[in-house]
Structure 1
Amino acid sequence: MDLKNLAAILDPQAPADRPFIIQVSPEGDEQLRLGYGEARLRIAALARGLLKRGLGRGEAVAIVAANSADYLVLYMATMAAGLVSVCVNHKLPRETVAHIMKDCSVKLAIADAERAPLVGSLVPTVAMEELDGLLDAGSFEPVDMAPEEVAMILYTSGSTGLPKGVPLSHGGYLWATGATPEQRPGIEGQKIIIAAPLFHMNGLFSAKMAMINGGTIVLMTNFMARGFIRAIDRNRVAMITSVPTMLALVMRETEELAKADLGCVTTAVTGSAPSTAEFFEQMHRMFPNAETANSWGTTESGPLGFGPHPDGIPKPMGSLGYPRANIEVKFVGGAETGATQGVLHIRTPALMSGYLNREADTKKRLIDGWYDTGDVMRRDENGFVFFVGRADDMFQCGGENVYPGEVEKLLGRHADVAQACVVPVPDEIKYQLPVAFVVAKPGTSPTEEALRRFALDNGPAYAHPRAIWFVDELPLAGTNKIDRKTLVDRAVATYARDDAKRV
């Protein structure tokens, strides 16, 4: 297919009566179905309606809403019309959303009732619930776009400072969606569950992979662990996409899991955070018929990085895979050959041209055409790559570098640990000390002393947590990743009050 607009990826071979989207509630109950035929007509009518409002090529339309079938339809219609989709994290503070509206010169916002107050006074706004008023029925062919023209703008969600706009091109994402044709047999006519928010690359790209391969999207309006299990069982979902935090919450729902039949799942993909071999073994037990995969991507460089080894060497448990064709990688700070570890720099056809209106930030991250991911990776002797942690999460303890992801994986190997998050607290002597928040597996009661001893026996002494607090669950940020900033603040306050914890 020689496509010239990202919106044209919707599989033309998919029968009109095949479900395109099955929208389900957080409890897993079906709310509506939209077939491929209906979706094609609705995307065309919305594209026509947007242009009828006088919007011009390359102008930005913001979507400020929870997950829904119409969210995806609007996302596609905007790009089909030659406009730019801006998928806004509606969990951001009001002033940050206002910055986004101004930063990318939004001309029109579509917002659901709960989020409309965020943007209604800033830009012309149409209610998502009144989207039918925008429809202009009729045929419409997606506008031919140059490869470098912007299809969408996503905003990175940093823990400090204003988020940075990342313009992503039609050409780059046409490459990304078409780079893995071997996935079609596992997706065509099958159901894929998406529970991640659609303002995040993970959810959006999973949706596009379903579209181009003729799959059916089971779309949760919001993630809830029990509802996730029910939706998989009731809809006989074949493929799940997730982040480790979501699956850790699912694993705790032992009663719901006992009632469900998840043997329908043949592919289970997780990513965006480090995971242990033990975690993947738990995934195998939960989805006994599934092939599991550890995915990796960034907003700036694209959703793809690694895949199978070209020589057919089996992928080790927990590995991201081997660099895919047309992707170049190098490990800064590591050796050029053999096993090594360093910060991953990457070049891909989906690489951004630069941050929107942020020249200084662009220069920091784009270096001679390479994107500095900030991710510390390890490469083994066969070229397989493993995620170690974030370079900017790294902190120093007594002159030694501590990577929280490595300590979390170590704690995750303990039989009683379901999930762990390691953060630093200040110390007058060591500068910073590692401490941990731990979620225990159901039915277990690990002690702080037992886990500290486990860490000392199995890892470097300087990296062992000096304090461990047990919690029912770890707080999540808007992207369903662990909210480290909240835990850092909690750890600093708690550690300062508890002199007995000082080491």
Structure 2
Amino acid sequence: MTTNLGMISCEAGAPDKPAFIGSWPDGTERVMTYAALNRMADAFARGLVAHGVARGERIGILSANRPDYVAAILGAMRAGVVPVPINFKFPPATIAYIVADSAVRVLVCDEPRRASAPATDAVVLTFEGEGDGTFASWLDEGPFDAVDPAADDPALILYTSGSTGRPKGVLLSHASHLWVAHVRVPEYRLNDERVLIAAPLYHMNALALSFLVCASGSTAILLPQFQAAHYIEAITRYRCTWLTAVPPMIAMMLREKEALAAADLSSVHSIRMGSAPVNEALAQTTAALLPNAHVINAYGTTEGGPIGFGAHPDGRPTPSGSVGYPHPEVEVRLVGENAPERGTLQLRSPGQMLGYLNRPDVASPVTADGFYDTGDVFRRDGDGFYYFVGRVDDMFVSGGENIYPSEVEHVIEEAPGVAQACVVPVNDDIKGTKPVAFVIRKAGSDVTEDEIKAFVLANAPAYQHPRRVWFVDRLPLTTTNKIDRNALMARATEAMAEPEGAGSS
């Protein structure tokens, strides 16, 4: 079995089977078989060596999703060169910081992102074209013997979103993500599936799934980025069977009435949901949209790895809202004054990071006994199932009471007529802070602000009820398709100056 993560595409796929099918909104398509993927990965590894890029040095990738993006990552890792996928939605100054912080030697861009490439001493290549200065010009056809990495050799550097400061480069080993893929292969059984990937490859969700596709010998439809109408069309066109999504993606799909009217989504039998709990309201919405799909409520982090929970060993069904039972190869514990029933999640697994790049100023989140502290609060029920409560960073205090936004959101989303909610704090002269909410109504609903307040007061502690409710058509998203709470807090602060009821239409 290989020890180099870049060789993962050599393990299972038949040479003539499509590994990745790139599909663009204009109808353009690129099919890359396993044979073509491995030829390109070898050719790029040879090209890096020929151009003097040494083992341990870094290449950056600033591009939307495309099949040769995956080949570039695999090829770099085969050569012992460390790929750094970069969030192209970051502002130019942040992109420049990442390129400098990781000491990128070569920066590979797609043409739309070429203008975002910072002034740098790195060689800049474009995926498009054939001449000098292109990715193709660095492909040296022929076989390549992949390096055998040491245990502490990084395979990848993924930068966190930086919502609480400068993005941190997370160092991930070859062994960690080979373990992730090999654990998931028998659990997910994707070998005959058509997987749809629209999340960005600079994010753990899509990248780990791409490695799993390779290890499974399955086929992935790779969209450049998520666009709801294109996503719906791709499910129909390619008869996709297995999806990953975050709750805002479901909400955006529901708005595409014309695309949904022309679509056949019956092929989808599994959808893996992440970034937010799958509560009953979201489960019902997803079931209405994808009636044949089983919903997998997933939890993972870049630093701690994408595997933490799974099925109950006794075969008990996972309750709605739970991320599952601790995975048998992962050690899990809750710490804090209410542990072990409730507390901050710490886990230890072969999938966790090596550490942060160039950040001696950041305290390590890994404990002395090797557990990664996630900063996420969970509760555990009597059957051993775990439920996400909220981020420690998101928790705020109102009148001496700790409030976790996700707990309040869960209650609001159980109210009749509510599709989705986001709760944020605003300043209050008496309480210090108090909760307010932004709510998306279900289609045809006319639920009011007063009705939502009354529902929360009847179903949760009084201090949790939102003091104001504003109805919106959509919630702002971060670059990784998570709800942008900072943007909503700023919006709420401005809206508090308006008369009550002004935002309730």
Q: Which category of TM-score, normalised to the shorter sequence, fits these structures?
A: over 0.9
**Cα drift, residue 500 of structure 1:** 7.6
Superposition pairs of residues 2-81 of structure 1, within 5 angstroms: 2-26=1-25, 29-81=27-79
Q: Answer whether contact 2:405 2:424 (CA < 8 A) is retained.
A: yes
Structure 2 partner of 1:313:
316
**Residues in 2 aligned to 1:410 and 1:25: alpha-carbon distance in whole angstroms:** 39
**Residues in 1 aligned to 2:500 and 2:185: alpha-carbon distance in whole angstroms:** 58
2:274 matches 1:271: yes
Structure 2 partner of 1:126:
125
Q: Answer whether contact 1:26 1:223 (CA < 8 A) is retained.
A: no
Which stretch shifts more, 161-170 or 367-376?
Answer: 367-376
**Cα drift, residue 96 of structure 1:** 1.3
Q: Answer whether contact 1:22 1:30 (CA < 8 A) is retained.
A: no
**Residues in 2 aligned to 1:364 and 1:178: alpha-carbon distance in whole angstroms:** 26
Structure 2 partner of 1:347:
348
Q: In 2 relative to 1, CA 189–500 (structure 1 residues): closer, same or farther, beyond 3 Å?
A: closer
**Cα drift, residue 160 of structure 1:** 3.0
Structure 1 partner of 2:196:
193
TM-score when normalising by structure 2: 0.94
Q: In 2 relative to 1, CA 184–363 (structure 1 residues): closer, same or farther, beyond 3 Å?
A: closer
Structure 2 partner of 1:328:
331
2:428 matches 1:424: no
Which stretch shifts more, 205-214 or 31-40?
Answer: 31-40
**Cα drift, residue 367 of structure 1:** 4.8
**Residues in 2 aligned to 1:206 and 1:357: alpha-carbon distance in whole angstroms:** 27
Structure 1 partner of 2:164:
160
Structure 1 partner of 2:131:
none
Structure 2 partner of 1:496:
497
Q: Residues 160-188 of structure 1, C-alpha deviation per residue, up to 9 Å, x if partnerless?
A: 32111100000111111111232353x11
2:255 matches 1:252: yes
Q: Answer whether contact 1:416 1:445 (CA < 8 A) is retained.
A: yes
Q: Secondary structure at the match of 1:189?
A: coil
2:186 matches 1:182: yes
**Residues in 2 aligned to 1:396 and 1:115: alpha-carbon distance in whole angstroms:** 42
**Residues in 2 aligned to 1:52 and 1:290: alpha-carbon distance in whole angstroms:** 48
**Residues in 2 aligned to 1:353 and 1:75: alpha-carbon distance in whole angstroms:** 19
**Residues in 2 aligned to 1:84 and 1:183: alpha-carbon distance in whole angstroms:** 29
**Residues in 1 aligned to 2:391 and 2:19: alpha-carbon distance in whole angstroms:** 37
Structure 2 partner of 1:442:
443
Letter in structure 2 aligned against 1:79: M
Q: Secondary structure at the match of 1:118?
A: coil
In structure 1, stretches of 5+ residues that fail to align are: none
Structure 1 partner of 2:389:
388
Q: Answer whether contact 1:268 1:291 (CA < 8 A) is retained.
A: yes
Structure 2 partner of 1:95:
93
**Residues in 1 aligned to 2:25 and 2:320: alpha-carbon distance in whole angstroms:** 31
Structure 2 partner of 1:137:
141
**Residues in 1 aligned to 2:77 and 2:270: alpha-carbon distance in whole angstroms:** 29
Q: Secondary structure at the match of 1:474?
A: coil
**Residues in 1 aligned to 2:287 and 2:59: alpha-carbon distance in whole angstroms:** 41
**Residues in 2 aligned to 1:471 and 1:221: alpha-carbon distance in whole angstroms:** 28
Letter in structure 1 aligned against 2:24: S
Which stretch shifts more, 226-235 or 443-452?
Answer: 443-452
**Residues in 2 aligned to 1:352 and 1:358: alpha-carbon distance in whole angstroms:** 14
Superposition pairs of residues 196-211 of structure 1, within 5 angstroms: 196-211=199-214
**Cα drift, residue 131 of structure 1:** 1.6
2:287 matches 1:289: no
Q: In 2 relative to 1, CA 301–125 (structure 1 residues): closer, same or farther, beyond 3 Å?
A: same
**Residues in 2 aligned to 1:349 and 1:15: alpha-carbon distance in whole angstroms:** 29
Q: Answer whether contact 1:147 1:172 (CA < 8 A) is retained.
A: no
Q: Answer whether contact 2:281 2:419 (CA < 8 A) is retained.
A: no
**Cα drift, residue 499 of structure 1:** 6.9
**Cα drift, residue 76 of structure 1:** 1.0
**Cα drift, residue 194 of structure 1:** 0.6
Q: Answer whether contact 1:466 1:501 (CA < 8 A) is retained.
A: no
Alpha carbon RMSD of aligned pairs, Å?
1.8
TM-score when normalising by structure 1: 0.95
Q: Answer whether contact 1:175 1:350 (CA < 8 A) is retained.
A: yes
Letter in structure 2 aligned against 1:373: T
Structure 2 partner of 1:110:
108
Q: Residues 113-158 of structure 1, C-alpha deviation per residue, up to 9 Å, x if partnerless?
A: 2322333411221112132111100011322112321000001113
Aligned residues: 497
Q: In 2 relative to 1, CA 364–149 (structure 1 residues): closer, same or farther, beyond 3 Å?
A: closer
**Residues in 2 aligned to 1:259 and 1:142: alpha-carbon distance in whole angstroms:** 47
Q: Answer whether contact 1:43 1:73 (CA < 8 A) is retained.
A: yes
Structure 2 partner of 1:357:
358
Letter in structure 2 aligned against 1:440: R
In structure 2, stretches of 5+ residues that fail to align are: 129-133
**Cα drift, residue 250 of structure 1:** 1.6
